[in-house]
Structures are given as C-alpha cells and as structure tokens.
Chain A
Amino acid sequence: MTHRRRMRRAALALAVAVLAGLPGTLAAQEPMQPAEPDPDSTLTDPRAAALDAEAADIAAQLRCPVCSGQSVLESNSDIAQQMQEVIRERLGEGQSERQILAYFRGSYGDWIILTPRPTGISLLVYVLPALALLGGIVWVIVAVRRWSAPPSAPGSGGTEASDSRADSDTVSDDLSAEDEAWLRQSIGGS
C-alpha cells in the first residue's frame, strides 16, 4: 500500500474514533459521582427510594451557595441540607427536574447550576474544545504530511543501519539515547 493511502486510512480511522466518541461524551452529562440508592436501605417504599435517587441527581447539579464549588449533594453545610429538603418537597409535589432547577435559577441566577447552559454565549464552552481538538487533528495531519519522507529515499544517511536498529530495537535501546548520540559523534564523526 502506498504511503499516502496508509496516511489517509490512518486519518480516517482517527476521525471515526473521535466522532464515535462524541455522542458518548454528550451522553455522559450526568455527574460522575451519583449517590446510588442504598442497596440495603430499610426503606420499603420503592417510590421513596426512587425519589431519593432523583433528588440526589438534582442536588448534584446545584452549586452549594456558601461553599467553594461543591455541589449541594456533596456539601455538609446547613444550607445544602435545607436545599435538599426543598428538592425533596418539590419532587413530592410532583414537580419535574426542569421546574425545580428553574426555581433555583430564579432565586440565585444561572450561577447556581453547575453546568453552563448550552445556549447563547455559554455554548462556546462546549464548542471551543471540540473545535480545538479538531483543529489540532488537522494541524497534526498537515504536519505529519509535511514531515513524511518520500518512500525509499536512498542515501538518507544510514537508513540501512537504522532499519536494522529498528528490528533489534530492544537491544540497542539498551544504550541510552545519550550514549548513542555520543557514540555516533565520537565514532562516526557525524
């Protein structure tokens, strides 16, 4: 297979990998530390257990107002416990997650929600990293292209020796790079 085709396949594979990763990334919006419902809980009411999990889910998305960056779920502070009570109360009344989050947003402002809204200017925080990654991939591909030597270039200074070195990589790798360089210098005079 020619060099170019190999490169194109590599680039394609990379692009596929990245694109495949994106939906998974977007799906993983939930916080990485959910407090799972206690498997040995003495609560017998399944609805209460479900409420606890849902309440924990919402609490994990809210920022504790008096702590530095902790979520309402993590924090031990009084206000966090009280906010958890408010969440449970509203869930019990039948409010949805969106309504409860909207309530807190109405009192505290957008700041109380730990994840920026993917609308308006805040969208940038999601878009820019993706662009940076894609931009980086493009740059790397262009650079690798520029750097890739044409196939079988003769006399490019000891390609033969380096090939055999590549084969017995481990043994010669035994020589540290410094020693190798020093040796080449003092013996080969290159």
Chain B
Amino acid sequence: MRGRWRWLLPLSAIPFLALLGFGLTRNPQFFPTPLIGQPAPVWTLQALDGDSLSLEELKDKVVVLNFWASWCIPCRAEHPVLMQAARTWPDEDVAIIGMVYDDTERNAERFLARMGNDWRHMLDPGSRTAIDYGVHGVPETFFVGRGGVVAYKHIGPLTWDVMKTKIDSLLAVPR
C-alpha cells in the first residue's frame, strides 16, 4: 500500500468506531413495535373474578393494557402508579386492564391481595393475546385511543409522568 491510499486504513476505522459509539446510546432491550397506529388486536378473555370481557366492549374509552406477572420485580414498582391511575380517572373514560402474563391464577391473586387491586385483570391462556401484541417481557403497557388504535407502547415500569401525559393526550382527542 503506497501513496495516499495508505491513509485509507486509519480513516476506514472511523465509521466503525462511530457506529460503536452510536451503539452505546441505545438500549438493546427496547424494541419499536409495528402496532403503533394500527388497530389494537382484539381479544375476548376471562377475568380473574370469572367475568368475561372483550376489547370491543371498551371501544369508546381510552384503554390502558398493562401486561404483568407476579414474578416480575419491576411490576411491583409500577403497581402504585396504576393504582393511582385507577383512582384518578373515572371508569367511563379510562379503562385500565391488567393482562396476566405467563403466570398462574393463584400467584396472580396472591400478588394482588398483597399489592392492592382496583381494576380488572384478564387471564391469557397460552399467551395468545400477549403474542398478538408482540409482548416479549413484562411489564409492557399499551395505550389505546378511543378509536381502538394503538397510540403508544411503554416498555418497562410505568411512571406517573408517562401515565398522565399519555392518557391526557388520548382523552383530548374528541370522541
């Protein structure tokens, strides 16, 4: 390698190093979901208390679908936020629905007995609904607008900030 071509060697390393730098700025655990802007996948499931519920029944409300499990530590951290949300918005406007993910009925009930329960929790046998929503870990929460379209997916434990901002923005959309 002679002449000016030799400087190509160190120069060619720069894009690669920049790429690694970029890599440091993102979290490999966070995935964009193809469901944003799409109609939320429909489901009809049985709740922990035995009643059945389908997504269609909630079509005029803002729906918060929160996938959780009793064995999930961050779910414990976000539980108070959901409790607060259940208290803040009336049930006719905002429906908070817990989706039990990869867990047994007994463990879920025990968790709720300990942490508090103010909204409905659906059982998802075979994780069909979780797979429909592309869930790959808990907690994950989907915010669905009044038209049944998925507006936002939050990965990881919810914060009150996120909760309030997203719900307020969805409520602001006229019926």
Contacts and interface: CB of A to CB of B under 8 A. Distances in A.
Interface of A: 65-66, 78-79, 82-83, 85-86, 104-109, 111-112
Given A82-B131, A86-B131, A108 B126 contact: no
A67 to B, nearest CB: 10
Contacts, number: 44
B134 A109 contact: yes
B151 to A, nearest CB: 17
B131 A105 contact: no
A66 B136 contact: yes
Given A78-B102, A79-B102, A111 B31 contact: yes
Contacts of B130: 79
B131 A83 contact: yes
Contact of A105 (B34, B133, B135): B34
A65 B102 contact: no
B132 interface: yes
Scoring A66, A83, A86, A107 by chain B CB atoms within 10 A of each residue's CB, the highest score goes to A107
B102 A108 contact: no
Contacts of A112: 134
B52 interface: no
B75 to A, nearest CB: 15
Determine the main DSSP class of A at the interface with B: helix
A65 B137 contact: yes
B32 to A, nearest CB: 6
Determine the main DSSP class of B at the interface with A: loop
A107 B150 CA distance: 12
Nearest to A83: B131
Contacts of A78: 102, 127
B33 A109 contact: yes
Interface of B: 31-35, 41, 102, 126-128, 130-137
A-B CB proximity, top 6 nearest: A65-B136, A107-B134, A108-B134, A82-B127, A109-B34, A78-B102
A108 B136 contact: yes
B161 to A, nearest CB: 26
Contacts of B134: 65, 107-109, 112
A112 B136 CA distance: 10
6 contacts: A82-B126, A86-B128, A106-B34, A107-B35, A109-B33, A111-B31
Contacts of B135: 65
Nearest to A85: B126
A82 B131 CA distance: 9
Nearest to B133: A107
A1 to B, nearest CB: 32
A109 B136 contact: no
A107 to B, nearest CB: 4
Nearest to A105: B34
A143 B69 CA distance: 63
Scoring A66, A78, A79 by chain B CB atoms within 10 A of each residue's CB, the highest score goes to A79
B32 A109 contact: yes
A28 B130 CA distance: 33
A83 B131 CA distance: 8
A85 B126 CA distance: 8
Scoring A82, A86, A104, A112 by chain B CB atoms within 10 A of each residue's CB, the highest score goes to A82
A107 B133 CA distance: 5
